[in-house]
Structure 1
Amino acid sequence: MRLIASALVTLAFAGTASLAQGQTLKVTYDLSLAGLPLGKADLVSSFKGKKYEMQGNAKLTGFAMILTGGKGEASASGTLAGAGPRSTNFAVVSKTSDNQRSVRMGLKGGRVAEVEIDPPLEPKEDRIPVKPADKRGVVDPMSALLMPAVASKSLTDPDNCNRTIPVFDGASRMNVVLSYAETKNAEVAGYSGPVLVCNARYVPVSGHRPERPATKFMQENRDMSVWLAPVEGPRLLFPLKVSVRTMIGIGEMQASLWSLEQDGKASQPMRRAVRADDAIQAGAIQ
């Protein structure tokens, strides 16, 4: 389940305004598995100049809460530079009814400087060792949600999908490989307009256990996608929806509320991110 959750978050946890004045994007997600509601997640991303800060929390509800007591909190910060974010700090605390684990990580220049995991992961002989090179040129799972647009392209250009995101979560190194699938129209509270639908693949590099059934399943999984909505100010794309097939059904993280605020004031919902004569394929979130 840790691998599945990491994939969701990794793949996973608008309007126009001047970035220098500061903007805050607030998104609430509904979580579900195999069509059954699991809970909610809230993610707040603040931008000031090139700097960003992210705060998120997730809590299972209903029967899932009774079974696991699951909830978690995460934070990340860094700067937006070039083709991707450059994270400096990451922390996550996950809790269930019978255990709790925290991960704290510091990065400098895209290199992992220090990691603290409490309690430490149990050593396993079949775990692929993490090499020093695997900790360079990476981002944390939360910062990976920030996807700056290609400099020479519009926010809704299909090329914005085509990227490989190198992620290190404190224990394992992976690549999330995205590729363009299609363009749809989507509408949730606070946003209405085009989204890029990107296919996603999980490519483990190190820190994983290759013979585990869950690892093999995710590595061969071709039923993963992320829907990216444009955020004009910092010129980036952000997940509106994440869908991942798991061993027990489709897991989804679907935005139910989208709000971009400037100087403490909510912007008007963005109705179009491209000109009326820009061609997009018709569609809607189901």
Structure 2
Amino acid sequence: MRLIASALVTLAFAGAGSPAQAQTLKVTYDISLAGLPLGTADLSSSFNGSKYQMTGKAKLTGLAMVLTGGKGEAAASGSLAGATPRSANFEVVSKTSDNQRSVRMGLKGGRVAKVEIDPPLEPRPDRVPVKPADKRGVVDPMSALLMPALASKSLTDPANCDRTIPVFDGASRMNVILTYAETKTVEVPGYSGPVLVCNARYVPISGHRSERPATKFMQENRDMSVWLAPVEGPRLLFPLKVSVRTMIGMGELYASLWSLEGDAKASRRAVKAEEAVKAEASQ
């Protein structure tokens, strides 16, 4: 289940401006497995110039809550630079009825500087060792949800689907490979318009348990996708829906509420002003 949850979360979990120029995207997801409702997840992502901060909470409900007591909270921060977010901090706390685990990670320039896992993972003979090189050029699972649009393309250009996301969750390193499938028009509370539908693949690099049936299943899994909706101010795409086939059925996160607060035009003006100041300073 940890691998499945990581895949779901991974795929799914301006300027110096004033508050009026900042933007905040709030998304509530309904979580289901094999057609049965499991719970909800709330994500809030705030953007101010190139900086971002994200917080999220997930909670199982109904029978799933009774059986597992499952809930979790996560947070991440960093900056948007190029095609991949530049993570700075990440932390997640997951709780069930019989245990709790926390992960805290600091990153600098795409390199993992520090990781704390409490309690530590149990040693397993089939766990693939994480090499130092596996901790460079990566993003945390939460920041991986932010997908900056290509500079030369529109937000809904199919080319924005085609990317490889290098993810490190504090214990394991993986690639999430996205490829364009189709463009759909959707309507949910707070958003109506086009979304890019991207096929997804999970490629484990290290830290995973190579002999686990769930690992092998996910490596061969071709029934995964993510629907990306455009966010104009910071010029990025964000998951509106994530679908992952699991060993017990299809797991889905689907946005039941989408809210973008703030002034996108003011944000763009602030970015242009900042670029002009930088250009003047370099002359």
TM-score where L is the length of structure 2: 0.91
- 1:171 aligned onto 2:171: yes
Aligned CA-pair RMSD: 1.2
- Contact in 1 for aligned 2:199/2:226 (Cα 8 Å): yes
Which residue of 2 is the match for residue 186 of structure 1?
A: 186
Which residue of 1 is the match for residue 206 of structure 2?
A: 206
The residue identity in structure 2 corresponding to 1:230 is P
Distance of 1:138 and 1:100 partners within structure 2? 25
The residue identity in structure 1 corresponding to 2:230 is P
Distance of 1:118 and 1:209 partners within structure 2? 19
Which residue of 2 is the match for residue 129 of structure 1?
A: 129
Distance of 1:253 and 1:84 partners within structure 2? 23
- Contact in 2 for aligned 1:226/1:239 (Cα 8 Å): yes
Matches within 5 A, 1:235-254: 235-254=235-254
- Contact in 2 for aligned 1:31/1:38 (Cα 8 Å): yes
* CA-to-aligned-CA distance 1:57-99 (integer Å, 9 cap, x gap): 0000000000000000000000000111000000000000000
Which residue of 1 is the match for residue 268 of structure 2?
A: none
The structure with more helix, counted as a fraction of residues: 2
Distance of 1:235 and 1:126 partners within structure 2? 41
- Contact in 2 for aligned 1:164/1:176 (Cα 8 Å): yes
The residue identity in structure 2 corresponding to 1:164 is T
Which residue of 1 is the match for residue 142 of structure 2?
A: 142
Are the structure 2 counterparts of residues 18 and 240 from structure 1 closer, same or farther at C-alpha, using a change threshold of 3 Å? farther
Matches within 5 A, 1:46-61: 46-61=46-61
Q: How many Å apart are 1:210 and its aligned residue?
A: 1.1
- Aligned-partner SS, 1:86: strand
Distance of 2:191 and 2:12 partners within structure 1? 19
The residue identity in structure 1 corresponding to 2:193 is G
Structure 2: which 5+ runs fail to align? Answer: 264-283
Are the structure 2 counterparts of residues 8 and 19 from structure 1 closer, same or farther at C-alpha, using a change threshold of 3 Å? farther
Q: Percent identity, aligned pairs only?
A: 86
- 1:41 aligned onto 2:59: no
Matches within 5 A, 1:1-286: 1-13=1-13, 20=17, 21-262=21-262
- Aligned-partner SS, 1:129: coil
Distance of 1:19 and 1:211 partners within structure 2? 49
Distance of 1:109 and 1:253 partners within structure 2? 30
- Contact in 2 for aligned 1:19/1:47 (Cα 8 Å): no
The residue identity in structure 2 corresponding to 1:161 is C
Q: How many Å apart are 1:209 and its aligned residue?
A: 1.1
* CA-to-aligned-CA distance 1:101-148 (integer Å, 9 cap, x gap): 000000000000000000000011111100000000000000000000
Distance of 2:29 and 2:103 partners within structure 1? 23
- Aligned-partner SS, 2:199: strand
The residue identity in structure 2 corresponding to 1:81 is A
- Contact in 2 for aligned 1:19/1:234 (Cα 8 Å): no
- Aligned-partner SS, 1:117: strand
- Contact in 2 for aligned 1:19/1:233 (Cα 8 Å): no
Q: Which runs of 4+ in 1 moved over 3 A?
A: 17-20
Structure 1: which 5+ runs fail to align? Answer: 264-286
Distance of 1:98 and 1:19 partners within structure 2? 45
Q: How many Å apart are 1:18 and its aligned residue?
A: 9.4
- Aligned-partner SS, 2:159: helix
Distance of 1:61 and 1:209 partners within structure 2? 29
Are the structure 2 counterparts of residues 18 and 192 from structure 1 closer, same or farther at C-alpha, using a change threshold of 3 Å? farther
- Aligned-partner SS, 1:4: helix
